[in-house]
Amino acid sequence: MKLTQKQLILIVGIGTLIITGGLVGVAWRYKENKNNAAVDANVITQENLNSATNNPGNTDDYIYEVYAEDQSEFLPITDSSGNSGWKHLMNESGGYSIDFPRGYAASFGDTQMKSVVLRGENLNTIKIGAYPTTSTELPNEDDFQATVLEPTEAASLAGVAGKKYVLRMCDGPGCTSDYVSIYAINNSVQYGVSFYGDRELDATEEKILESFAFLSPSDPSYRKIYINEAFNYLVRYPQTWTVRENESVGNYVKIMPPDWEEKTSLETGPGIIIYGYDNIIQNDLVSNSHQKEINGLIATQQDEGGLVTSRVTYFPYPYQDTYVRVSWDTAYVSDYPELESILSSFRFKTRY
């Protein structure tokens, strides 16, 4: 029998999960509504994820690909203040935080960066995810493509009532190890924490689960993440700010404060402008040109005159002979200290 591309992808992903000593990739799928048409997800794309999560006519049918590469540098991971010797992970895209012991590597589990996978040598894999849902009900046992090994139990995530499932995914010649998943719905988002390699949580895993928290929009440290696929970069920005894009003009992006309409004009305004640029401007209106290191990137920063004076930072784009230009009107620097914090979060992604 000839296998389809989708079947081959699933077989390869599941087969590698059971290889001890190194996780190269894993794929798993959860189906929320079996009666709807399935989403074509042979590859992970933003279009497929948007289609699955935003269109009521489609099933929530996800396939995640998990890489062994450590991507901790893209996540705010700090020392835990509540658990001595542990680390604290805050995922703004997913809207959650969690503590975990040292020894785990972190990587993203999807293109939207809403799920995170924690792996470590001789440590069980943990996956944390958050995805929009149109349903107000958690899945029943017969909603899963995975085998439900034990009766579903009541559980909670950060005080929100949920369910605990013990599962095993089999598709093709192999099966995943048994795993425990705890799901809950909060503010139209379904959250899940899964512990692979177990049918019961041990004391450490219970402690990890207890540390899970929803990020509060009122928390000043909470930031949204903007990801630009054209130039493969990301920045973090305050939750009250707004992103506007214009792909027809060099992938022009503007990140604006909430009161931008009160202060903007055709020539200038508050906020940050980001777009691709062929070269670094050099003329008599340029001053204070210098090199600046930001997240390991050596950028050129300078003030450029004209109708207004702009603080401009040029990041060499690593995949072709061009730059990503980040700028703002210097007249607004004192009003918006967030400009520097947004710039300091700039980095190129190594995946997706």
State pTM to two decimals: 0.59
* Of the candidate ranges 28-37, 83-92, 101-110, 309-318, the one whose mean pLDDT is the lowest: 28-37
- Is there a contact between 266 and 286 (Cβ–Cβ < 8 Å)? no
User: How far is 242 from 237, CA to CA, in rounded Å?
Assistant: 9
CATH architecture label of 223-348: 3-Layer(aba) Sandwich (3.40)
Q: Where in 136-178 does DSSP place strands (E)?
A: 147-148, 153-157, 160-168
141-180 confidence digits (pLDDT tens):
888 878 888 889 999 999 999 999 998 887 767 777 889 9
- Is there a contact between 53 and 134 (Cβ–Cβ < 8 Å)? no
- Is there a contact between 89 and 75 (Cβ–Cβ < 8 Å)? yes
Mean pLDDT of the chain: 75
CB atoms within 10 A of CB 215: 18
Q: Which residues contact 134 (CB under 8 A, 6 or more apart)?
A: 56, 188
User: How far is 331 from 269, CA to CA, in rounded Å?
Assistant: 9
The yes-or-no verdict on residue 26 having pLDDT over 90 is no
The residues of the chain that CATH labels 3.40.1000.10 are: 5-214, 223-348
195-242 confidence digits (pLDDT tens):
988 899 999 999 999 999 998 766 666 778 888 888 888 888 988 888
Predicted confidence at residue 163, as pLDDT, reads 94
* Residues in the chain, overall count: 352
CATH class of residue range 5-214: alpha beta
- Is there a contact between 191 and 184 (Cβ–Cβ < 8 Å)? yes
What's the Cα-to-Cα distance from 81 to each of 2, 84, 98, 205, rounded to whole Å?
54, 7, 11, 18
pLDDT band at 323 (very low <50, low <70, confident <90, very high): very high
